[in-house]
Amino acid sequence: MYIEQLYTNCLSEAAYYIESNHEAAIVDPLRDIDQYIELAKQRNATIKYIFETHFHADFVSGHIDLGKVTGAPIIYGPQTQTSFPIYVAKDNEKFKLGDVTIKVLHTPGHTLESSCYLLQDEHKKDYAVFTGDTLFVGDVGRPDLSQKEDSLTTEQLAGIMYDSLQQKIIPLADNVIVYPAHGPGSSCGKNLGSQTSSTIDNEKQNNYALQSQSKEDFIKAVTDGLAAPPQYFPVNAKINKEGYESLETILNTALKPLSVHQTKELMNNENIILLDTRPATQFTEGFIPGSVFIGLEGRFAEWAGSLLPFDKTILLICEEGKEKETVTRLTRVGFSRFAGYAEGGFYAWKNAGEPIDLIINIEADELAMDIPFDENLMVVDVRRETEFADGHVKDALNIPLSNLTDPASMASFEENQNIYVHCQGGYRSVVAASLIKKQGIHNIYNVQGGWNEIKKQEKIQHQKEVSVLN
């Protein structure tokens, strides 16, 4: 028996490769399926099953493309309905994989079709459970992401999850390994732990959701403090349920090189989004006017899904050689409309003598010096509310980056203001600055190093307000 966790950091997503006696199964595959096919080929195995724990909201699964390439059935748990062929398993149904067995545990709550897959070894002993979004390390899946047609409230789904955990998860042996679909940073739970695997015993000891408590107390614990989910979650869940265009087809369109002239013509179309994915340090030094920056070095796909409209067509400005990676990562969160990419990137545009824009970077000590003397200065902190509450510059305006596409947020700015934007480390602030620039506000300064550097400055430290959440 062989198990490999295939973890994608920028999405905090874990897919799994399970193999026994040259037969393999894939659990929760990502959109780009080559890694699974190559792994099976290297190990001289045949992919026999594709198991899906539920309709994922935070990424587009590779189940359909993988099924077409391998001929393996796509298996979901009970109560699953899709627009494409699948095998709907029964609760407790077993699937043979070489010398091991995979048993379906229907665990509704995160969604109604949510199921875990219990791996039993060659001796029929429970060995590991692939929990999807039912159980994480230190947390459980949030119960407010289910499709609207389910007609159940968040509290009702939380109650169903309580029953699933009590009846299917807690009775498992303490030494059973827990392999969840997500790790730290995922928005599919409230506060996932730092590890990407665990054991039933560890979770019984440390996971608040598995402690001895009434159903009412569980519902309150699971539903309290849920932040609004990213805007792309329902889009991805719908795609996973209804199907999608193949990744190969999308790549053929997206990887079309565009000359400077073609780029210039297309950028005047209101349905085109210019997306610049170069490193932040390159972007601030110069970019095509009107570009939105979301750099590959951060949680790229997640921020793209949260900030960009799905009904627009994307024209890419990338580092040369990064075009395919960029498109692939965008398709993971459901983007499929691409005009192509600017051949030669930003530098071809600049060398052609076309106009460019830039964002002025400043050090934290410059902000400290400017605050007392600039009456038009506005500090905009684009961190999350919880980060802001832990400490911030006095009188700073907190607009979390995920809220910046709201017209009401943009109405906070005036043309005569000098806007100093910062986040925690410097990535989100450049994204924010590009969005503000796109709306015609140009007196923008990016504070390099963000709050990490600001709080080191004595002049600002004396002006800091610290709020503590009750």
Q: Specify the pLDDT at position 470.
A: 26
Average pLDDT over residues 48-58: 97
Q: Is 209 left (phi over 0), alpha (psi -120 to 50) or beta?
A: alpha
Evaluate if residue 303 carries a pLDDT over 70: yes
Evaluate if residue 300 carries a pLDDT over 90: yes
pLDDT band at 286 (very low <50, low <70, confident <90, very high): very high
pLDDT band at 360 (very low <50, low <70, confident <90, very high): very high
Which of the residue ranges 144-148, 187-191, 385-389 has the most confident prediction, judged by mean pLDDT?
385-389
**CATH 3.40.250.10 residue spans of the chain:** 245-351, 360-461
Q: The tokens of 348 are what?
A: 């071809």
Q: Are 267 and 290 in contact (CB under 8 A)?
A: yes
User: So what CATH class is 2-235?
Assistant: alpha beta
For residue 255, the Cα-to-chain-centroid distance in whole angstroms is 23
Average pLDDT over residues 146-167: 86
DSSP string computed for 313-341:
EEEEE--TT-HHHHHHHHHTTT---EEEE
Give the CATH H-level superfamily of domain 245-351: Rhodanese-like domain (3.40.250.10)
Q: Specify the pLDDT at position 254.
A: 97
pLDDT band at 111 (very low <50, low <70, confident <90, very high): very high
Evaluate if residue 467 carries a pLDDT over 80: no
Q: The tokens of 10 are what?
A: 């920028």
For residue 14, the Cα-to-chain-centroid distance in whole angstroms is 12
Rounded-to-integer distance, Cα 102 and Cα 96, Å: 6
The three-state secondary structure class of 397 is strand
Please write the tens of the pLDDT for every residue from 320-330.
Answer: 999 999 999 99
Q: Could you give the C-alpha distances from 188 to 181, 309, 444, in angstroms and in order?
A: 10, 21, 33
Evaluate if residue 145 carries a pLDDT over 90: no
Chain position carrying tokens 């894939």: 26
Cβ atoms within 10 Å of 346's Cβ, excluding its own: 22
Question: Which residue, 359, 381, 404, 397, is CA-closest to 452?
Answer: 381
Cβ atoms within 10 Å of 216's Cβ, excluding its own: 11
Q: Are 359 and 289 in contact (CB under 8 A)?
A: no
Task: List CB contacts of 47: < 8 A, sequence separation 6 or more.
Answer: 24, 25, 26, 36, 37, 40, 66, 70, 72
Rounded-to-integer distance, Cα 8 and Cα 401, Å: 23
Task: List CB contacts of 119: < 8 A, sequence separation 6 or more.
Answer: 3, 18, 100, 101, 102, 103, 126, 127, 128, 129, 130
Rounded-to-integer distance, Cα 227 and Cα 235, Å: 18
pLDDT band at 44 (very low <50, low <70, confident <90, very high): very high
- Percent of the residues in the chain that have a pLDDT greater than 70, as a whole number: 96
In this structure, the strands spanning 126-132 and 135-136 are: unpaired
Work out the angle between the directed axes of helices 154-164 and 215-223 (0-180°, nearest 10).
Answer: 120
Q: The tokens of 102 are what?
A: 């995979």
Rounded-to-integer distance, Cα 444 and Cα 180, Å: 42
Chain position carrying tokens 């679909």: 181
Evaluate if residue 455 carries a pLDDT over 70: yes
What CATH number does the domain located at 360-461 have?
Answer: 3.40.250.10
Q: The tokens of 365 are what?
A: 């000590």
Q: Are 35 and 116 in contact (CB under 8 A)?
A: no
CA angle 464, 466, 468 (to 5 degrees): 175
Evaluate if residue 205 carries a pLDDT over 60: yes
The three-state secondary structure class of 289 is coil
Rounded-to-integer distance, Cα 325 and Cα 300, Å: 11
Q: Which of 139-143, 219-223, 271-275, 457-461 has the lowest mean pLDDT?
A: 457-461
DSSP string computed for 136-185:
ETTEE--TT-S-GGG---HHHHHHHHHHHIIIIITTS-TT-EEEESB-TT
Average pLDDT over residues 442-458: 90
User: Which residues pair with residue 470 across a beta bridge?
Assistant: none
Q: Specify the pLDDT at position 150.
A: 62
pLDDT band at 468 (very low <50, low <70, confident <90, very high): very low
Residue at 96: amino acid letter: K
pLDDT band at 466 (very low <50, low <70, confident <90, very high): very low
Average pLDDT over residues 61-80: 97
Please write the tens of the pLDDT for every residue from 244-282.
Answer: 999 999 999 999 999 999 999 999 899 999 999 999 999
User: Which residues pair with residue 117 across a beta bridge?
Assistant: 104, 130
Q: Specify the pLDDT at position 151.
A: 79
Mean pLDDT, the chain, rounded, equals 93
Evaluate if residue 298 carries a pLDDT over 90: no
CA angle 42, 45, 46 (to 5 degrees): 125
Work out the angle between the directed axes of helices 300-307 and 323-331 (0-180°, nearest 10).
Answer: 60
Q: Specify the pLDDT at position 459.
A: 55
Evaluate if residue 312 carries a pLDDT over 70: yes
Q: Specify the pLDDT at position 147.
A: 57
pLDDT band at 191 (very low <50, low <70, confident <90, very high): confident
pLDDT band at 408 (very low <50, low <70, confident <90, very high): confident
Q: Specify the pLDDT at position 461.
A: 55
**CATH 3.60.15.10 residue spans of the chain:** 2-235
Please indicate whether residue 95 or residue 411 has the higher confidence score (pLDDT).
95
